[in-house]
Structure 1
Amino acid sequence: MRLCLKTRVDQSLPAVWAGFDQDLFERLSPPFPPVQVIRFDGCRRDDVVHIRLNFFLFRQDWISQIVDQKTEENEIYFVDQGTKLPFFLTYWHHRHRLLRVPADGVSGQTLLVDDVTFRTPFLLTDYLFYPVLWLQFAYRKPIYRRWFSRS
């Protein structure tokens, strides 16, 4: 199943790329489930991100590897692929795209695109999980806007 959300921010492409660090990653985590960052190497090829989800009665580890990253004039992207996933996911592929907004009288804007492909153990749960996942990513939109606002 595929999910794609877009957020425009008021910062240049290089500034947004420079802001993709562990501090931003931790701020993007929704209130539930609480997330503990075990390892955060960064957003470049072969980096690893390991988090622990706390569901209070049990915990689940989620480990992703950055399997691709590229920097071009008008786009920077990186792809995290789940290598160890919580029980409710069987596949995770998240392409983070940072796109330079064409000059339209407003300079220095970037479009952030969260392009996620996921699977759960059953097709039915894919559909049930979709709105939950959509809300988790929609939660990020105001955080991105605040984080990358011009001060």
Structure 2
Amino acid sequence: DQREWPFGTEAYHGMARTADLAANLCWLGHARRLVPAVAPLARLVQVAADEESQKAALRALRALSADVACLEALLPMEAFRSEALEVLHKSGDEPEATDLLSYLETMELSLSEAQKLVDASKAFVHHGPSVRDLAEHFASRAPLDGELTPAQVLE
């Protein structure tokens, strides 16, 4: 069901186009403002009637998940991950789903390990940064699943 938006313009935006727009806005630096779009995009992956919309939503979610706030919105969506991403991954037909699932699993493990380190160091570092603060700082220098160069570490 498409609806005219903005009203009176006779413009009808398809789901794939909307998902592509979210990805483009993310690449332009507006990912943080798109946190509210994470859940609808995940829902689109689950209910999309066409492959184009589903793939566009998967690409948008992968782009958005590079932002820590968007990642935090996506990680708790266990049903989405187990019911949609796992099924698409196992079918082997959706490399976008495999990429997103792999990234989310890697990030979940990395954040969990970072939290363990922060907890273990509390006796020595009383006012250390939170895992979220560390992730934000890291993400400002490199992709969350990437590595920092020695020069970046010294900045």
TM-score (normalised: structure 2) = 0.26
- Which structure shows the bigger proportion of residues in strand conformation? 1
- Which structure shows the bigger proportion of residues in helix conformation? 2
TM-score (normalised: structure 1) = 0.26
Structure exhibiting the larger radius of gyration computed from Cα positions: 2
